Amino acid sequence: MKKLAIYPGTFDPFTNGHLDVLERALTIFEQVIVVIAENSSKKTLFSVEERSEMIETVTETLPGTTVEVLHGGLLAEYAHAAGAAAIVRGVRQVKDFEYEFQMSLLNRHLNPEVTTVFLMPNVNYTYVASSIIREVSLLGGDVSKFVHPHVLTMLQKKFEEHNT
């Protein structure tokens, strides 16, 4: 029987790499909650509400996907409260793995019932990071291969607002 997993992240913005990891997770788990982490130490381009709407639109055709916001608190506690069997994390490179490995060990200590599952995105997205997408988009570069059309529209509108 497939179980519930959570896929946490800032998702600022939600990229095709994120979508690829989510689609892979849905082949393993019956339901995946995309958990938008509201991190007060990070300055984001999009509000939590905008990111939530963005992900809901991009994933509307993916059965078993829901979107929730974590307003502070520990991810391990959230996973426990949600009844999640696993935390899904995308790993693009060795640097990602080192950080994610530390986090998975800490989460295991805080909640031994939850397993962290590392998924690698399609090779086409291994160098795609939200921060790079924001920077390239800000400078007028074409990021259409790396984000859903709805996300692209939201990026364009956001940077039009900033440039006026």
| Residue positions annotated with a catalytic role | 18, 42, 92, 130
- Residue 7, annotated ligand binder? no
- Residue 128, annotated ligand binder? yes
Specify the DSSP element, H or E, that contains 162: helix 149-163
Question: Coil, strand or helix: which one is 124?
Answer: helix
- Residue 11, annotated ligand binder? yes
CB of 72 closer than 8 Å to CB of 8: no
- Residue 98, annotated ligand binder? no
CB atoms within 10 A of CB 30: 13
b/e for 124-141, b at 16 or more Cβ within 10 A? ebeebbbeebbeebeeee
- Residue 91, annotated ligand binder? yes
- Residue 144, annotated ligand binder? no
Binding-site residue numbers for ATP are 10-11, 18, 90-92, 100, 125-131
List binding-site positions for substrate.
10, 42, 75, 89
- Residues of each annotated binding site: 10-11, 18, 42, 75, 89-92, 100, 125-131
